Amino acid sequence: MATRFVFLIALSFSIILSLVPVTTAKYHVKGCVYCDTCRAGFETNVTTYIQGARVGIRCIERASKKVVFYTEGETDDKGTYHIEVENDHHDNICQTVLVSSPLNWCSTPDPGRNRSSIVLTHYKNGILNYLHYANSMGFLKDEPLPVCHHLLKYYLSDSDV
């Protein structure tokens, strides 16, 4: 009788323990936002990172294409954001998106780097996953820095080889 009772308690605890992380655990999405000072379409060694840029995380439902989740965060002095996400969104299509830049001379989202796909689930290959990395996103500086002319020649010739 007593052992059966203990067993039932142990069983219900293990059910609770196995359910809790899946349904309510929080995790973070991390990534960074840069200013493409060369309007190169990629990060260079004169790229700067933007503090105070706003980033959104948006999930849409595959079938209806309706937005089912949205949250926002801001970058720190290194241009990095850490946005907390709750619940599992692996059934949805999720992206990080650029919302705004605090720099009026660097506030045009680079059409090729204005979002990043992310899979928002706690389990990745069967492993609990509390931190998700998104690709960097960038705004384009209004005018490229003078040094860029020389620099881009170097970058482009390098990638041609």
Ligand X SMILES: *[C@@H]1O[C@H](CO)[C@@H](O)[C@H](O)[C@H]1NC(C)=O
Which residue stretch of 11-19, 29-37, 106-114, 117-125 sits at the interface with ligand X (rule: CB under 6 A)? 106-114
Q: Quick check: 99 binds ligand X (CB under 6 A)? A: no
In three-state secondary structure terms, 157 is helix
Q: Which stretch binds ligand X (CB under 6 A): 3-11, 30-38, 81-89, 111-119?
A: 111-119
Q: Report the helix count and the strand count for the chain, using DSSP H and E.
A: 2, 12
Q: Which is nearer to ligand X, 122 or 151 (CB)?
A: 151
CB of 85 to ligand X, least distance (A): 17
Stretch in the footprint of ligand X (CB under 6 A) among 6-14, 67-75, 110-118, 131-139: 110-118
Residue 25 or 99: the one with the smaller Cβ distance to ligand X is: 99
Task: Pick the closest to residue 114 from 28, 27, 31, 29 (CA basis).
Answer: 31
β-strand partners of 100: 54
Type of residue numbered 146:
P
Q: At CB < 8 A and 24+ separation, what contacts does 125-130 make? A: 128/21, 128/25, 129/27, 130/25, 130/27, 130/28
- Chain residues binding ligand X by CB under 6 A are 45-46, 97, 109, 111, 114-115, 151, 154
